[in-house]
Amino acid sequence: ETGVTQTPRHLVMGMTNKKSLKCEQHLGHNAMYWYKQSAKKPLELMFVYSLEERVENNSVPSRFSPECPNSSHLFLHLHTLQPEDSALYLCASSQGAYQGGNQPQHFGDGTRLSIL
């Protein structure tokens, strides 16, 4: 148990569907992250929230829309996704307002997303 919970664990959706990924952290951290992990590629940072404010958006297509209603919850809203968006989506949190440099990130188990 890492203290970071992601739901659902698996998601299959069509290209026209709308779905949301959820992440919850019970560690009292104030920074949260969405990563994308495609096969045989390094982790790609998508979004960073610090103190509920988005501080990083790495040129992610608008079909991915993050939401951070409070420091414990993070959502990734998905709409009109493409087959190349099939990947593992990981949520992480850390102590400190930003990446914190010397603070490790704590990850959830991820959502395996498949786009039909």
- Interface with another protein by CB under 8 A: which residues? 2, 4, 40-43, 45, 48, 50, 55-56, 58, 90, 92, 98-99, 101-110
Nearer residue to another protein within complex by CB, 66 or 108: 108
Residue 104: CB minimum distance to another protein, A? 3
Residue 85: CB minimum distance to another protein, A? 19
Measured distance CA(53)–CA(106) in Å, rounded: 19
Measured distance CA(32)–CA(22) in Å, rounded: 12
Residue 105: CB minimum distance to another protein, A? 7
DSSP 8-state symbol, 84: G
Please confirm whether the linkage preceding 8 is cis (ω < 30° from 0): yes
